[in-house]
């Protein structure tokens, strides 16, 4: 994904494992609706009607990148470098 383009996107993570990517402005509007409501309700998001209680959260591209890397088994060392599963970190020895 283009880094400049992805910086303006947010991901709405749904309980069923769906990821709804949307522009930051739309995500901010959704966030306001969710935070103002004190009850579960159905809301329209990008021509989809969803139950607000099924939304886990709204996350930025960096957080989603971390999530997908961890899901693939990668890990981040103390030097903030990603490594593949079972790799040994030599970052401190450079």
pLDDT tens figures, 81-93: 999 999 999 998 7
pLDDT given at position 46: 85
Decide if 50 contacts 42 (C-beta within 8 A).
yes
First to last CA, the chain: 30
Structure tokens at 93: 């020895």
Decide if 56 contacts 10 (C-beta within 8 A).
no
The span from the CA of 59 to the CA of 53, in Å, is 16
Run of H or E residues at 22: strand 19-23
pTM: 0.77
pLDDT tens figures, 25-47: 999 999 999 999 888 889 998 89
| Eight-state DSSP code of residue 9 | E
């Amino acid at each position: 994904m283009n880094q400049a383009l992805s910086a303006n996107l947010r991901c709405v993570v749904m309980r069923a494992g769906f990821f709804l990517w949307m522009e930051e402005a739309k995500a901010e509007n959704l966030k306001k609706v969710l935070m103002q409501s004190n009850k579960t309700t159905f809301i329209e998001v990008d021509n989809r009607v969803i139950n607000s209680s099924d939304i886990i959260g709204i996350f930025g591209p960096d957080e989603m990148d971390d999530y997908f890397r961890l899901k693939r088994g990668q890990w981040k060392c103390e030097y903030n470098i990603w490594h593949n599963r079972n790799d040994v970190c030599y970052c401190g020895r450079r």
